[in-house]
A and B are shown apart, each in its own frame.
Chain A
Amino acid sequence: MPSDKPILQVRALTKRFGQKSAVRGIDLTINEGEFWGLLGANGAGKTTTIKLLTGLTRPDSGEIQYRGRDFFRFFREAKKLIGVVPQQNNLDRDLTANENLTLHAILHGIPRKHRAERINEVLDVAGLTEYRDKPVKTFSGGMKRRLVVVRSLLHHPRILFLDEPTSGLDPQIRRNLWELIQKINREQKTAVLMTTHYIEEAEKLCHRVKIISSGQVIADDTPEQLKKGIGHYVLEGGEQELFFKTMQDAKDKQKTVHGESSVREVSLEDVFIKLTGKRINV
């Protein structure tokens, strides 16, 4: 279970690129062990937020604290707490899985005597043990993704940033990755901040969700509460969607609708569309 000790606190974070504001005053507190989702359409500011929180991009204003200490004043100490899975698999294609992991282990100061053991552990978790000494350029997309995910865990981070961890993967591999990420969160109590534009992913994995649009948070709650907020049932007919508290209300309304219509339970996607006016994941 998540604790109420904050690992990451963010206040009024902003970032501009020239004239364009990418992030406009985001606040965020993540406690140890919590699993957060950051939802938004393409260009909403998800990746920029992750880059700001991991030190790859400098904010124009705002505050970032890890365990109560300023990120930029205690830059190296804070970075030790962080694991990052970037949107793009940033592996060295010419190096083997083992060499990629060894590089990460060196950079994160894992003592030489523990290195091999730790690397074998995570290769096992990723199911890549037999590919240990194969160059990464021979790997499939799913294998590369799994390697990037376990690489980020090598140094036992306390907070893991996942930027669209499963985009472009086939359903089976997505499910495997979900299990892996959930396991890390549950067993190691590693906090997670995951961006995604797969609504079902957020619904299945996240304890709490922030929905952002044009660099601003427009909703922040548990997936359950967000769904409750707009009603439990949705009536779909023609161009519009209507939301109702009870199945009966929805059914009653349905009788007055002409043409084809259907009633179903509300999903996080409905919340998203209602709040942003955009359909995601197309």
Chain B
Amino acid sequence: MFNGFTGVLYRELHVFSKKAKKQIIASSLSPLLFLIAFGWGFGKEVTVDGLPYITFLIPGLITMSALNQSYGIALELNISRFYFHVFDEFLIAPVRQVEIVLGEACFGIFRAMISAALIFIYSILFGVKLIISPIFFLAFFFHTFLFATLGVTMAMIVKDHGSQASVNTFVITPMIFLCGTFFPVDKLPAFFKGMVHILPLTYSTKVIRASLTGGNINTTYLGLMAAFAILFFGTALWAVKRVEA
């Protein structure tokens, strides 16, 4: 019944398990560097939105790492499409495309959970107290699902490995720097403020930060995250249906 879904997860988890150590170490490094540079650098004296900066920063880093990991499946999908053609095995198999999308999305969420767990450990080491609201789990799910399905969409529509790298340079990295990971977007000039409100990461960061620091959850933003998740699920499905090997 769910051969496609099971197959995709079987493949991804087996490949992952062989490189898990390396990947986990690699993905744990950049948030640690940010914590040391910004957290300790101007950590406890500076307060932002009424929070010590490091407390403000950690939920941002959780959101960022979760994005990197869930969206990051795009890179591997690319390698499996263009270099080893392993993805053709999924396309040739008698399975529904929706199962391929959901399998990959689940794997993206799984990777994001590992990276988030690492930062929760950091928060303890850095002595930061987080207040985890149940909304966090829902928001985290929307956030990682939407970026995983965006990753699937992008991996299917790019024509080669180089274009995938450009998407990262021109979309993902600017988004991480502008959408509230390191500072509140309200401080941006009006033009940029308008612009970042088109980008889903802005809402993810706000909702996830509020759900970890005892802030008020903006339900409109949570709804927008769900809307983005549905939108990108749709584009991913469309992209997998039309992809050609």
Which residues from chain A sit less than 8 Å from chain B, CB to CB?
51, 54-58, 75-77, 79-80, 82, 84, 86, 88, 90-95, 99, 102-104, 106-109
With both beta carbons as reference points, the residue of chain B lying nearest to A76 in the complex is identified as B94
**A260, B89: Cα distance in complex, Å:** 53
For residue B197, CB closer than 8 A to chain A, the reply is no
**A5, B4: Cα distance in complex, Å:** 31
User: Per-residue CB proximity of B65-93 to A under 8 Å, as 1/0?
Assistant: 00000000000000000001110111111
* In contact, A90 and B89 (Cβ under 8 angstroms): yes
**A106, B1: Cα distance in complex, Å:** 10
> Which residues of chain B come closer than 8 Å to A82, judged between CB atoms?
92
Q: Determine how close the nearest CB of chain B comes to the CB of A80; give it in whole angstroms.
A: 5
- 15 CB < 8 A contacts A-B: A56-B91, A56-B92, A77-B94, A84-B92, A88-B85, A90-B84, A91-B86, A92-B84, A103-B10, A106-B3, A107-B3, A107-B4, A107-B89, A107-B94, A108-B3
| CB neighbors of A among B1-30 (8 A) | 3-4, 6-7, 10-11, 14-15, 18-19
* In contact, A108 and B244 (Cβ under 8 angstroms): no
Q: A94-B14, A103-B11 are in contact. List 6 more A-B contacts (CB 8 A).
A: A54-B92, A56-B92, A76-B95, A86-B88, A90-B86, A92-B15
Tally the A-B contacts, defined by beta carbons under 8 Å. 74
Q: Sort chain B's interface into a size bin.
A: 20 to 34
With A88-B85, A94-B18, A103-B11 given, is the CB distance from A79 to B93 under 8 Å?
Answer: yes
* In contact, B90 and A107 (Cβ under 8 angstroms): yes
* In contact, B85 and A86 (Cβ under 8 angstroms): yes
Query: Is the contact region of chain B dominated by helix, strand, or loop, or is it mixed?
Result: helix
**A57, B86: Cα distance in complex, Å:** 16
With both beta carbons as reference points, the residue of chain B lying nearest to A57 in the complex is identified as B244
Q: Determine how close the nearest CB of chain A comes to the CB of B242; give it in whole angstroms.
A: 8
* In contact, A104 and B19 (Cβ under 8 angstroms): no
With both beta carbons as reference points, the residue of chain B lying nearest to A109 in the complex is identified as B3
**A10, B71: Cα distance in complex, Å:** 40
For residue B96, CB closer than 8 A to chain A, the reply is yes
**A95, B89: Cα distance in complex, Å:** 14
Question: Among B19, B85, B93, which residue has the most Cβ atoms of chain A within 10 A?
Answer: B93
| CB neighbors of A among B74-124 (8 A) | 84-86, 88-96
10 A-B pairs with least C-beta separation: A107-B93, A79-B94, A90-B85, A107-B7, A56-B245, A106-B7, A76-B94, A57-B244, A80-B94, A109-B3
User: Per-residue CB proximity of B180-204 to A under 8 Å, as 1/0?
Assistant: 0000000000000000000000000
**A95, B86: Cα distance in complex, Å:** 11
* In contact, A90 and B88 (Cβ under 8 angstroms): yes
With both beta carbons as reference points, the residue of chain B lying nearest to A99 in the complex is identified as B14
Q: Determine how close the nearest CB of chain A comes to the CB of B180; give it in whole angstroms.
A: 37
**A80, B3: Cα distance in complex, Å:** 13
With both beta carbons as reference points, the residue of chain B lying nearest to A90 in the complex is identified as B85
> Which residues of chain B come closer than 8 Å to A92, judged between CB atoms?
11, 15, 84, 86
Q: Determine how close the nearest CB of chain B comes to the CB of A22; give it in whole angstroms.
A: 12
With both beta carbons as reference points, the residue of chain B lying nearest to A54 in the complex is identified as B92
> Which residues of chain B come closer than 8 Å to A91, judged between CB atoms?
84, 86
